[in-house]
Amino acid sequence: MSAQHRDATTHDEVELKYAVDEDFVLPELDGLDAEARTARLEALYFDTPGQRLAAARVTLRRRTGGDDAGWHLKLPVAGARREVRLPLGRATRKVPAQLAGTVRALTRGEPLVPVAQLTTERTVRHVVDDGGRVMAEVADDRVQARRLLAEGPAAEPDTWRELEVELVEGGAGLLRSLDAQLRAHGLSEAPHGSKLARALGTGAEAPAPAALKRSSPAGEVVRAHLAAQVHQITSNDPLVRLDVPDSVHKARVATRRLRSALKTYRPLFAEGVPERLREELSWLADELGGARDAEVMRDRLVAAVGELEPVEGEDPAAAATALREVMEADYRAAHEELLRALDGERYAALLKQLDELVEAPLDDGPWSPVALERAKDVLPAMVRATDRKLRKRVRSAYAADADPSVPAADADELFHDARKRAKEARYAGESLVPLWGEEAKAYAKAVEGLQEVLGEHQDSVVVREVLHRLAGRDPQALAFTCGRLFAAEVGHAAASREAVDAAWEAASSRKLRRWLR
């Protein structure tokens, strides 16, 4: 966890909610403890006046009562919700700076104000195993909710009853079993994702946007792609701040996809728009890249040490410990530097520019008249232009590699450039999968295969550079081990270079490009 969250605790919440009526009687579930515990919970929920957190499926509250009183921030993660907790403190209506900062990218600078007040009468029973361990918690909640927003429907109290089943030490299998037992008694999952969603009337699914077609305006197709990437950046921003694994990677990939789309679909935009945004996105990608590269390098080298065969005179455990400490320090420094960037005005300004781009009408502002043309008439041709650049770069790399007069480092750089072009072509193909389906998907997958083997080659080059620096930082503990790892990477580079030929043969098939004509 980052320095700004060291006084917080985190918890991954995996639960199911069920709508129940007043006559419902909890059945005797497998392992259900007979003892019931009752508590009164008072919670004040915060959001922006426009409910930006609710739209992102994020909840922020101050709750008293029960055994987890305090400030709670809940963020969606894969298959669960990451809950960040802070002590109650003295302030009752001012969100702690740590939590406000965590959701900065979601609020876009808007104030956090009380939006709802909930009172819950909760009766809890535990599901335990044979040893008495608590595997899950079953909470029977009677809720009274009151909206506090000045606008919207009248703030009449709303009351309902619901059942929550949350895992404690149990796994997914237990949750499936409990779900099956409850459904067998006629229960169905609650239509709202949270109590706050029910209170604010945001529990129902938003209407699906109009389906895009190949005859749709090209700008609408590209806008949808750009909006998805902006959402990926902002939804991962809080997780990056909490140092959740893979969050930096996801935000970085979305940033790269945005830059690639602005380049591939350049004719759709007004003069200067893509260039300005690409420059700022390049800055953000670099900031994210510092932390991501340090994270990848740490994991790769620590794993590589564990795969080395023991040799006389070397202490693998000591070398692994020393390497882990050095690389972890590098990652921590890079992550703290990233957080400073995310707290800065430049990042906030970039998010504002991206919002303006995806919200602007196609006949005005950042879009050009080409954006109004049919997607099928202009978009495949733009992807085809990106594909041509890829093929040109690959041919140049092969020519340099075959020329004895060209230094190996120069050939490596050309293959690295080909990798970047492959990534652009892949992203371009993927952006049109919603409309061109399997044809676009097959093309993107083949180019991704080329990108990956070229990436392995480049990664090996970078790893060798890192190992050379590491050997000089602590010669006694790391020099010998870094030398062995360096030799192994030379072998990896040779193997990855051989794989390029097969990947390029697969990706250069004319059949893959028929849909681009």
> Do residues 80 and 179 share a domain?
yes
Domain-located, residue 210: no
- For the chain, report the end-to-end CA distance as a whole number of angstroms: 50
- Structural contact between residues 355 and 195, judged by C-beta atoms closer than 8 angstroms: no
Cα–Cα distance between 145 and 162 in angstroms, integer? 13
Question: What is the DSSP code string of 404-433?
Answer: TTS-HHHHHHHHHHHHHHHHHHHHHHHHTH
Separation in Å, CA 109 to CA 44, 48, 150 = 21, 9, 20
- The region that residue 244 occupies, defined by phi over 0 for left and psi between -120 and 50 for alpha, beta otherwise, is beta
Domain-located, residue 207: no
Strand ordering across the sheet containing 80-86: 9-13, 80-86, 70-77, 59-64, 37-47, 113-128, 134-147, 158-167, 15-19, 188-189
Separation in Å, CA 186 to CA 24, 29, 247 = 10, 14, 38
Q: pLDDT tens digit string along 382-408?
A: 999 999 999 999 999 999 989 989 998
- By C-alpha distance, which of 246, 238, 254, 235 is closest to 296? 246
> Do residues 356 and 462 share a domain?
no
Domain-located, residue 111: yes
Q: Which of 373, 402, 433 is the last residue of a domain?
A: 373
> Do residues 367 and 394 share a domain?
no
Q: Which of 348, 373, 398 is the last residue of a domain?
A: 373
Helix axes 218-241, 247-264, angle to 10 degrees: 160
- By C-alpha distance, which of 45, 52, 369, 383 is closest to 199? 45
pLDDT lower than 70: segments of the chain:
1-7, 150-155, 202-209, 313-316, 457, 473-477, 492-494, 497
> Do residues 246 and 379 share a domain?
no
- Structural contact between residues 248 and 291, judged by C-beta atoms closer than 8 angstroms: yes
Q: Which residues partner with 19 through β-bridges?
A: 162, 188
- By C-alpha distance, which of 100, 108, 87, 111 is closest to 8? 87
Q: pLDDT tens digit string along 335-344?
A: 999 999 999 9
Q: Which of 173, 200, 227 is the last residue of a domain?
A: 200
One-letter-per-residue 3-state SS of 484-502: HHHHHHHHHHHHHHHHHHH
Cα–Cα distance between 10 and 273 in angstroms, integer? 41
- pLDDT at res. 151: 55
Residue 303, phi then psi, degrees to nearest 5: -65, -40
> Do residues 111 and 128 share a domain?
yes
> Do residues 489 and 369 share a domain?
no
- pLDDT at res. 464: 77
Cα–Cα distance between 396 and 325 in angstroms, integer? 41
> Do residues 45 and 194 share a domain?
yes
Residue 453's domain spans which residues? 374-511
> Do residues 420 and 349 share a domain?
no
Domain-located, residue 76: yes
Give the domain CATH number at 82: 2.40.320.10
Q: pLDDT tens digit string along 79-120?
A: 788 999 999 988 888 999 999 999 999 999 899 999 999 999
- Structural contact between residues 75 and 60, judged by C-beta atoms closer than 8 angstroms: no
> Do residues 188 and 39 share a domain?
yes
**pTM check: above 0.85:** yes
Helix axes 218-241, 375-402, angle to 10 degrees: 60
Cα–Cα distance between 388 and 428 in angstroms, integer? 12
- pLDDT at res. 154: 52
Domain-located, residue 206: no
- pLDDT at res. 4: 54
Give the domain CATH number at 245: 1.40.20.10
> What's the total number of domains in the chain?
3
- By C-alpha distance, which of 62, 29, 22 is closest to 162? 22
Domain-located, residue 30: yes
Q: In 192-272, which ranges are continuous DSSP H helix? A: 195-200, 218-241, 247-264
Domain-located, residue 234: yes
Domain-located, residue 213: no
Q: CA torsion sign, 163 to 24 to 157 to 118?
A: negative
> Do residues 325 and 417 share a domain?
no
Longest dimension (CA), the chain: 85
> Do residues 230 and 245 share a domain?
yes
> Do residues 349 and 442 share a domain?
no
- pLDDT at res. 307: 75
Which three-class secondary structure state does DSSP give residue 84?
strand
Cα–Cα distance between 301 and 96 in angstroms, integer? 38
